[in-house]
Amino acid sequence: MTDHQQARIEADPRVPIIRIVRDFAATPAQLYRAHTDPALYARWVGPNDITTRIDHWDCRTGGSWAFSNVRGDESYSFHGCFHEISPTRLVQTFTFDGWPDGVSLETLTSRTRRGRAADHALPAPIVVSELEAAADQAS
C-alpha cells in the first residue's frame, strides 16, 4: 500500500487551524463505523502506550462523549460534544479535563478518491480523510 499517502499536517497561515490529511484503504461506511462505534474507536484513538476507556458515548447530532486514557495509576480524561454526525462529515469538540478552559473544534470529512489507475489495484476504495482542528486558545 505504498501509494497511500501518510498523514500530512498543514497549517493554515490565515486562521488558527491545522489540517491532517490521510488516505485509507476502506469504504466511507467503514471509516464512519470506526469513528462512531465506541468499542472500535477506543482501539485506535491512542496513543500507543496507553489504554482508552470510554466513559460516555452518545454518538448522534447533539450528543456527547467522554473517555479516559489510563496507564497504571495514571488517568487523563477528555470530553466533548458531537455537533454533527453524518456519513461523510463528523463535527465535534474536544477538551482535556486537565485544561477545561481550552476547547478545539474538529471536523472530519471523508471523500472517495477516484480516477487514478493505481487505485484499481487496491482491494478497496481509498478514502481521503481530512481532520480540521481549530484550537481556542484560552487566555
Partner 1 sequence: MTTDQLSRTFAALADPTRRDLVARLSLGDATLTELAAPYTMSLQAVSKHLTVLERAGLVSRGKEAQRKPVHLQPAVLEPVTDWLETYRRRAEERYQRLDAVLAELAETDPHDTRGENR
CB of 22 to partner 1, least distance (A): 5
Cα-Cα-Cα-Cα torsion 12, 98, 103, 67, nearest 10 degrees, comes to 100
Q: Is residue 48 classed as helix, strand or coil in its secondary structure? A: coil
Question: Does residue 138 sit in helix, strand or coil?
Answer: coil
What is the bridge-based pairing of β-strands 103-113 and 8-11?
unpaired
Shortest Å, Cβ 123 to partner 1: 6
Q: Does position 46 bind partner 1 by CB under 8 A? A: yes
- Could you give the angle at the alpha carbon of 127 between the alpha carbons of 122 and 130, nearest 5°? 145
Tell me the helix, strand and coil percentages in the chain, rounded to 5: 15, 50, 35
Is 34 one of the binding residues for partner 1 (CB under 8 A)? Answer: yes
Provide the CB-side half-sphere exposure for 135 (13 A, CA). Answer: 12
Q: How far is the CB of 118 from partner 1 (least distance, A)?
A: 11
Residue 71 within binding range of partner 1, rule CB under 8 A: no
Residues near partner 1 (CB under 8 A), total? 31
Interface mask (CB under 8 A) for partner 1, residues 107-136, using x and -? Answer: -----x-x----xx-xxxxx----------
Q: CB under 8 A: which stretch of 1-9, 60-68, 88-96, 99-107 binds partner 1?
A: 1-9
Interaction between residue 103 and partner 1 (CB under 8 A): no
> Rule CB under 8 A: which residues touch partner 1?
6-9, 20, 22, 24-27, 29-31, 33-34, 40, 43-48, 112, 114, 119-120, 122-126
